[in-house]
């Protein structure tokens, strides 16, 4: 296992982190025995960063880790969890959630504590509740050691948040398709220039970049690869190739995934991919982009929309469904992202009133209202209300449940 050093605190983090969002399951619950074996096995092989959050596995992930890391494993890892930003409705809530998380995780301190999933409304809301003072206090009294944030907002917001506090680290979505979305490459480089450690999530874009059933045009490019590597290994190595990245989270739930990822992490040094390997991955990315339905880069210039439509997020979910053939799970992801649970108000495509304000702001000259109509017709089916209920059950498990 390779390790990279956090500039602000000198911690040596394994370049492969264990994400506890997609643990092994049985009968739609965490498979306690299997998931415990897997996480301990990963730690035994050198993984020393474990990431979870309040809503993962409907609140069960933190409880599971509290048990799975007993017997000496807790002290072998840097444990990360996140404040459920969307549940904070009063200043005192932040202390209540952190205290509950310490209890659930069966620990006296969180090594890496993040404000979860920041975007513009959540950042504004947390600032109004003095979240930065809360982080100072929690550090001072020892409940947390390092403070960071995870990010899902538009690119312009990212440097503002980086500059707003003396963060030790941040967590961003980054993979060979998301170089312009959210924080993007610019954000990665900015955070690193300010000495923040950067934890990368979604290196496989929710697993889709690693699916064995890639679209045929993409598979044709992979078939020309030398040396032969799996799409998962190419995707991880591409992220690790960036010197600015500290650790990459992988949601591992099969023994074979763990073995493959750990093997890749033995020699994935920064700048170790050759020019022709980088060109190959760029060709795969371009091929994926060609089969996108809407040529949206996620720049966010079309926002704000007076009808609150989350335009780039709508297109991102729609594109992902078509690129990766995820028709079954896409409506759930759509409701999760657009239903307002994380932002306070819904941003569905169907809310568009065709005012046309966004049209001249889009550098890609996308006919946004026309494309949104297609998004709504394919993703807003008759079971929308049912999906909203499911999302609420997952995200809104309150502190005293
Ligand atoms: S045309 Fe639709 S999406 Fe664009 S700004 Fe108006 S309401 Fe929003
Ligand atoms: S629709 Fe246009 S302006 Fe809006 S995020 Fe996409 S590319 Fe940018």
The per-residue pLDDT for range 23-70, each reduced to its tens digit, is 999 988 999 999 999 999 999 999 999 999 998 998 999 999 999 999
Would the CB of 164 count as within 6 Å of ligand 1? no
**Hey, whose CA ends up nearest to atom 6 of ligand 2?**
296
Using one digit for the tens of pLDDT, what is the confidence trace for 215-256? 889 999 999 999 999 999 999 999 999 999 999 998 888 899
Q: Which ligand is nearest to the CA of 299?
A: 2
Count how many residues are written for the chain.
401
CA of 294 to the centre of ligand 1 (A): 16
Contact indicator for 341, 392 with CB cutoff of 8 Å: yes
**Hey, whose CA ends up nearest to atom 8 of ligand 2?**
299
Would the CB of 370 count as within 6 Å of ligand 1? no
Would the CB of 129 count as within 6 Å of ligand 2? no
**49-51 vs 247-250, strand pairing mode:** unpaired
Contact indicator for 30, 64 with CB cutoff of 8 Å: yes
Question: In 3-state terms, what secondary structure has residue 95?
Answer: helix
Q: Which long-range contacts (CB under 8 A, 24 or more apart) does 332-339 make?
A: 332/387, 332/390, 332/391, 333/206, 334/379, 334/380, 335/384, 335/387, 335/388, 335/390, 335/391, 336/391, 337/310, 337/313, 338/310, 338/313, 338/314, 339/387, 339/388, 339/391
Q: Report the alpha-carbon distance of residue 374 to residue 358 in Å, rounded.
A: 17
With bands split at pLDDT 50, 70 and 90, how would you rate the model's confidence at 396?
low
Would the CB of 47 count as within 6 Å of ligand 1? no
Would the CB of 309 count as within 6 Å of ligand 2? no
Residue 79 pLDDT exceeds 80: yes
Would the CB of 100 count as within 6 Å of ligand 2? no
**Hey, whose CA ends up nearest to atom 2 of ligand 2?**
362
Q: Beta partners for 200?
A: 172, 248
The pLDDT, as a whole number, for residue 45 is: 96
User: When comparing pLDDT for 292 and 367, which is higher?
Assistant: 367
Would the CB of 309 count as within 6 Å of ligand 1? yes
DSSP 8-state assignment for residue 306: T
Using one digit for the tens of pLDDT, what is the confidence trace for 85-139? 989 999 999 999 999 999 999 999 999 999 999 988 899 999 999 999 999 999 9
CA of 77 to the centre of ligand 1 (A): 47
Residue 365 pLDDT exceeds 50: yes
Using one digit for the tens of pLDDT, what is the confidence trace for 334-354? 999 999 877 778 999 999 999
Would the CB of 375 count as within 6 Å of ligand 1? no
Complete DSSP assignment for 11-22: -EEESEEEETTS
Would the CB of 362 count as within 6 Å of ligand 2? yes
CA of 358 to the centre of ligand 2 (A): 9
CA of 7 to the centre of ligand 1 (A): 43
Using one digit for the tens of pLDDT, what is the confidence trace for 158-215? 999 999 999 999 999 999 988 988 899 999 999 999 999 999 998 988 777 887 778 8
Residue 249 phi/psi, 5° resolution? -85, 135
Residue 314 pLDDT exceeds 80: yes
């Amino acid at each position: 296992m390779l390790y990279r050093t956090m500039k602000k605190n000198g911690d040596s983090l394994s370049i492969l982190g264990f994400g506890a969002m997609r643990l092994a399951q049985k009968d739609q619950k965490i498979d306690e025995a299997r998931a415990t074996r897997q996480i301990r096995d990963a730690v035994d092989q050198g993984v020393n960063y474990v990431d979870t959050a309040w809503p993962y596995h409907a609140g069960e992930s933190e409880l599971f880790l509290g048990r799975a890391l007993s017997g000496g494993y807790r002290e072998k890892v840097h444990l990360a969890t996140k404040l459920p930003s969307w549940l904070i409705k009063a200043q005192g809530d932040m202390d209540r959630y952190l205290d509950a998380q310490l209890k659930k995780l069966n620990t006296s301190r969180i090594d890496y504590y993040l404000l979860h999933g920041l975007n513009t409304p959540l950042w504004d809301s947390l600032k109004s509740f003095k979240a930065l003072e809360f982080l100072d206090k929690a550090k001072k009294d020892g409940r947390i050691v390092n403070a960071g944030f995870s990010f899902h907002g538009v690119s312009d917001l990212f440097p503002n948040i980086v500059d707003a506090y003396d963060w030790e680290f941040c967590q961003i979505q980054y993979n060979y398709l998301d170089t312009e979305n959210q924080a993007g490459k610019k954000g990665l480089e900015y955070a690193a220039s300010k000495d923040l450690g950067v934890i990368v999530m979604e290196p496989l874009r929710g697993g889709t970049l690693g699916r064995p059933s890639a679209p045929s045009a993409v598979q044709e490019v992979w078939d020309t690869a030398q040396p032969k590597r799996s799409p998962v290994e190419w995707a991880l190595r591409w992220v690790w190739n960036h010197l600015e990245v500290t650790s990459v989270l992988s949601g591992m739930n099969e023994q074979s995934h763990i073995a493959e990822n750990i093997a890749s992490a033995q020699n994935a040094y920064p700048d170790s991919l050759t020019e022709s390997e980088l060109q190959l991955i760029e060709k795969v990315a371009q091929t994926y982009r060609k089969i996108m339905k809407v040529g949206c880069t996620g720049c966010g210039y079309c926002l704000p929309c007076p009808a609150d439509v989350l335009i780039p997020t709508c297109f991102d979910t729609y594109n992902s469904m078509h690129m990766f053939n995820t028709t079954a799970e896409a409506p759930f992801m759509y409701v999760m992202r657009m239903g307002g649970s994380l932002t306070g108000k819904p941003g569905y495509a169907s809310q568009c009133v065709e005012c046309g304000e966004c049209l001249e702001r889009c550098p890609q000259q996308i006919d946004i209202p026309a494309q949104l109509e297609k998004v709504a017709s394919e993703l807003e089916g008759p079971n929308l209300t049912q999906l909203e209920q499911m999302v609420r059950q997952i995200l809104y498990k309150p502190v005293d449940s």
